[in-house]
Structure 1
Amino acid sequence: MFFIADLHTHSHYAAATSKFLCLETMHQWALIKGIDVVSTGDFTHPAWIKELEEKLRPAGNGFFTLRQEPELTVLPGAKPQGRTIYFCLSTEVSCEYVINGKQYKNHHLIYAPDFETARSINKALAGYGDLSSDGRPTLLLPAHELLKIVLDIAPRAFFVPAHIWTPWFSTLGSKNGHASLQDCFKDVTNELFAVETSLSADPLMCRRYAELDRLTLLSNSDAHSAHKLGREVNLLDTDLGYEAMFNAFKTKQGFSGTWEYYPQRGKYFNDGHRNCKVSFGAGEAHSADCPVCQKLLTVGVAHRVEQLANRSEQEAAGKVQPFRYVLPLPEIFAEIAGFSESSLKVAALYAKAISHFGTEFNILHQAPIQDIQRYHHPLSVAVDRLRQDKKHFTAGYDGAHGRIWFFDKAELNTKPEQTLLF
């Protein structure tokens, strides 16, 4: 069966996350977005795994469901399509270590089919860092040693390097990453079957680096707030279960690709220095130093891909896995309505659209354009342009989000048929 999975999330115990980020809010936003399987995040945290055990029950397929489903309160007025939301036990950990005088920092995702396995992993990792300090704990442990531990103690657990291109805290990042997967994972490199791309990269960019060819490219939201679920997702057409899902990732049979955040919308696409509002595209010649303050620029994902790439974009296009872009629907309504995406006006438009079409992903990629046009003409124009990747953008850099838009100002201001209909 076809299903959608977002497999990188957090809890309110992780640093820089919403205090409202919990199973109940993730359940509600998964309904609204159209996600079937959501990771729990943070099972290494003692308080969070206790809460997971109290609130979740096994679904019989390696996933879990809430013992008590919440009422929909996060988007008043919305009536999303009803269905079962499954949770997959997961955590993200940060490895920090020094090799030959250079410090490395990288994040990794670990998945477990049951609480016994999760607790075994926690017991093994507790000797390398304080698991209660953060939902994403820091371990004084090289990445390849972490992978060995997971392989040795939990044969049904799975390991995926997280957001591999992000400048900080990633396997290949420009700031404290490695020059290759082999350099990072050494004698267990061949045990890898997938990597997570990052919000500032897409599969086409990744396929320019041949070392990733044999690996499945996963994409997830890395949600720090529940409403950020679904910024990126994985598409599967296989049995709905833990073993079947990871077998699809390993074999690429039953893996149907990803829906991707526009990489230019991510926070680290361009080179730049946020404090000085300086940004350079990968093709722009510039010094390594900021022209304003003379400090080092942060090398963005696009540039880092260029540094490691060993094939052209045209050559990569012939090897790329299926993917399409998505943009959160509130951002689209914000452009059409001329209000902030967090405004009450946009929330009302969003809730009404969800009630009409069932889910956000149905609007973005599944509903016929003619149906959306009958419902709301400007929305149909924006969705059609999204599906054809006809966009305008300002790229993100050095922690500052980019921006995507689909209309010229004159289009929304001068065409009477594009006025709001609600």
Structure 2
Amino acid sequence: MHDIRSIRENPEAFDAALARRGLAPLSADILALDEKSRALKTALQQGQARRNEASKAIGQAMAAKDMATAEALKAEVAALKEGVPALEAEDREVSDALTAMLAAIPNLPADDVPQGADETDNVELSRWGTPRDFDFVAQDHADFGPALGLDFEGGAALSGARFTALRGQMARLHRALAQFMLDTQTAVNGYEETIVPLLVRDEALFGTGQLPKFAEDLFRTTDGRWLIPTAEVSLTNLVREKLLHESDLQVPIRLTALTPCFRSEAGSAGRDTRGFIRQHQFEKVELVAICRPEDSEAEHERMCAAAESILRALKLPYRKVLLCTGDMGFSARKTYDLEVWLPSQQTYREISSVSNCGDFQARRMNARYKPEGGKNTRFLHTLNGSGLAVGRTLVAVLENYQQQDGSVAVPEALVPLMSGQRELSIPYENMLGTWSRY
């Protein structure tokens, strides 16, 4: 949500920032609604003040036995009262229209975000690790994964396309990855482990920016709740409608959760239809930070480093990219993407987005804090990122650690969580072959 006072004070700057997002100027339309809304509120206040004044005068006229004046005042009060519902209805209509317009506008980009139309204009900042030089042709995980327990057919039979069952050693590796991420983010990077609801109300998704614009990307239940597309929704909304003290924020509030995530992928038709990269249901370790405005830039860098630490521990080559204005998410003012190397595609693919949302989400949630010694409250800053998406990390491990005989070596960091198992071995295909006969 945007600060209407800021738009009033500097509409040109607002329109210039929208232009960087590829949007037409909107300040004139916004300010016209704002002026009308303020005029209606003023009329209501003046009408109420006059009603109070006239009501008091009625008593004085009655005491003076000036019945003509008293009756005239009564008629005026009745007329004022009769006009209130219509004014209130118009005020609600204009206020709702203004709120809807502001709610549909994405966050404004930070000054250091590069200008661009799409992902081709993103700026690579750094690379870590060297892609492995295979002495055989690297295979796509979708081709060799089924023999190791990545059951695309079973998942599709249960739920349709983009659902996958994981069995045996593949399920164990997936669990080990999730636990490793969660343990690292809590014990090493200082995030508080949190278990959150997977079903949320409209206002929670509005708060983080998924509603109203992206409803088609979500799954809704029969009772009007929504399945979360990411734990960012639940974690960030824990401060919804809260007023914190600055002392609560001397160290930013850092939260993490491992949850299933659910996405309809309505806007990605035809993309990544094979394999485990783009699923309707997947698990992710989410990172969320709540902080003071002056701390959010440093916290953004820290959160990105926390996500990077997983990739480094797993020895997966990746690159860090600064997203351009045309590729950022709706709620972000600045985003880093981490892209992991996939040998089968000979390219880097997104595995984490780490975003600083500024006060954009906090305004939508009415999440504030009171500075020490200050009279006025300020809106919090919120940040979120993947630390990491478990399924995509599984894909990266499978492809980067694949061996010529179809087995997959287990990254050293995961061996303790796999009870010492050092590879996913091909004999698992025997079980799949047996199952397929029934």
Q: Tell me the TM-score normalized by structure 1.
A: 0.25
Q: Tell me the TM-score normalized by structure 2.
A: 0.25
Q: Which has the higher relative contact order, 1 or 2, with Cα contacts under 8 A spaced 6 or more apart?
A: 2
The structure with the greater share of residues assigned to helix is 2
Please identify the structure whose Cα radius of gyration is greater.
2
